[in-house]
Amino acid sequence: MKYNKLNGWTIVLLIISIGAIRAHKSEDETTTVERSSKKNVYALIMIDVQYCFINGSLALSNGPAGQDGAEVIPVINELIKKVPFDVFAYSLDWHPANHISFFENLESRKDYVLGGDHEKYQMFDAVTYTGPGLETTQILWPAHCIQDTDEAKLHEDLIRLPAGDNVVYINKGRNPNIDSYSAFLDNDKIEKTPLDNELKARNVTHVFVTGLALDYCVGSTAIDAINFGYKTYVIEDACRGVDGTAIEAKLNQLEQDGVEIVNSHQVEQIINSLNSKQNVIDTCTSNKRYDITDENQDDININNCQ
Ligand code: VGL
Ligand code: ZN
């Protein structure tokens, strides 16, 4: 009786183990299949091409670099018309009137200024607020891009594709107590905007970032894009920034983080060559002449699988 009972348990355990091994094996097989059929999906991300940064309350032309934000518009329009992107994402800086980033709100938030003495701060200084909510260091910008104002609109000359299956619009910086330079995450990296989910839902693999301002919102968006797993490009001539030194520093940081800095004229060629590489991988894997699992994508050429 005792012997039989033990035997029964052994059989049960054996069945469970075989099940686990088989499940593991089929999981491995699925992963391989998924990888080999992974298609490149390209998104154009356009950051904050709004009047506030072009001729409004935070116009780049008034910044130290004296740049003209409107100059990105023809470059981006050309990209939209000529390059076969699969997905288009527009972001808008979209602040409530009591936003933490506004110099004008320093007085009403003075109890949260680290070290007190709020009066010593000027426009464009960085202040550390101890709350409400989390501690955050914030540059004091002039009030800008207030929700539903005319200057918060995207510039009328920018091609604004209607929202739909392959076009998304993201409003950021809506939380009064935390700024959001990146179109993916707030500055404390706590709360996500819908952008990552919208891109993942469309299977986006590669993102090309453009817009305003390169040293702030464009740069932060590109770094988060890398961290969220996208192959990331910044199209330098489709961006303008606030401060020359900060722009240089940001470009260097982006490159170090693995972002590729490219020119708008290269983009179509980059996508074409990625697609032909992808076609080679697809042919090789469908012919089972090439093991996708240990391929080094950069070395692929048609001879590898012949
Ligand atoms: C931005 C400063 C403040 C930007 C937004 O879009 O780069 N810069 N808010
Ligand atoms: Zn802002």
Per-residue pLDDT reduced to its tens digit, 29-54: 433 433 444 799 999 999 999 999 99
- Report which of 194, 6, 231, 20 is spatially closest to residue 94, judged by C-alpha positions: 194
pLDDT of residue 48: 98
- Report which of 174, 183, 124, 152 is spatially closest to residue 57, judged by C-alpha positions: 152
* Low pLDDT (below 70) residues in the chain: 1-37, 287-306
To the query of whether residue 172 is one of the catalytic residues in this protein, the response is: yes
Token digits for 273?
């060559």
| E-only strand ranges, 125-276 | 126-129, 136-139, 167-172, 206-212, 231-240, 260-262
172: CA distance to ligand 2 center in Å? 8
Please report where in the chains the tokens 């706590």 appear, as a residue: 190
Give residues (CB < 6 A) around ligand 1. 48, 53, 93, 101, 141, 212-213, 216-217
Q: Which atom of ligand 1 is nearest to the CA of 218?
A: 7
d(CA 57, CA 43): 29
Look up the pTM and report it: 0.84
Ordered by start, the domain boundaries in the chain are 42-96+143-262, 103-140
Single out the catalytic residue among 52, 93, 186, 217: 217
Residue 107: count other Cβ atoms within 10 Å of its Cβ: 9
Q: Which CATH superfamily is domain 42-96+143-262 in?
A: Isochorismatase-like (3.40.50.850)
d(CA 23, CA 32): 14
Single out the catalytic residue among 93, 172, 196, 243: 172
Contact 176, 96 (CB under 8 A): yes
pLDDT of residue 289: 54
**R_g of the chain, CA atoms, integer Å:** 25
